[in-house]
Structure 1
């Protein structure tokens, strides 16, 4: 075997080694890139969930505050004509925030307070049903985007 063949074999081995190393490097780089992308997507999902929970919390708190005004009005028989529209506006925010269980519980409370019928015990029971539905909806694993 001549020096030319030895040089050719050595060059071929170097090229093959480079291709194999490059292939492994490419695969490792692709895996690393996938892991980074997944981490970024997870962070974005977590941030979105936190924002949605904060929006829900605000809507639910405003709704409960508006409902409490009407409950107090029923208890004391002193109130303002603007109390019911404020409750309906707060209810609209709950409808947008979701989920259906919280919306249904809020609707039942609005219906009872809006008609003025029902005892204070019934109002309190529906209020508690809404609070429980709201608590369920505010658990981080419960956020489902529409």
Structure 2
């Protein structure tokens, strides 16, 4: 561990591919912050090894406001943190966290073909041997049923 408690570890995000999305999409980025506490049955953390994150949309609905349509999205993030234990064996352990996210995106129409979500970046800091602070940059992308110009 270095003096700033910053680590370089492998980040794997299991999310949807944005490479082949039409230029007619509407998108929004947002930050999801979370404090993570390692369960008591697990040993303390010496060093993070790998983080696997998978976001999933669980529900969505379109509402109309006086300004425009809004798509409200609820979802779950499943995260597995692999780490080296702070003990003589230095064994590798994994702990899983699940937490929700909730956000909306302004729409210029109400005809949706698909909704995609992904994790763009993650910052995670080991504050104590059992306590992590995390910030995720997430993106929601709405693909219309037809080309929409705004």
Q: TM-score range by the shorter chain?
A: under 0.3
Structure 1 length as normaliser, TM-score? 0.21
Structure of greater relative contact order (alpha carbons < 8 Å, 6+ residues apart) = 2
Higher strand share: 2
Q: Which of the pair has more CA radius of gyration? A: 1
Q: TM-score, normalised by structure 2?
A: 0.21
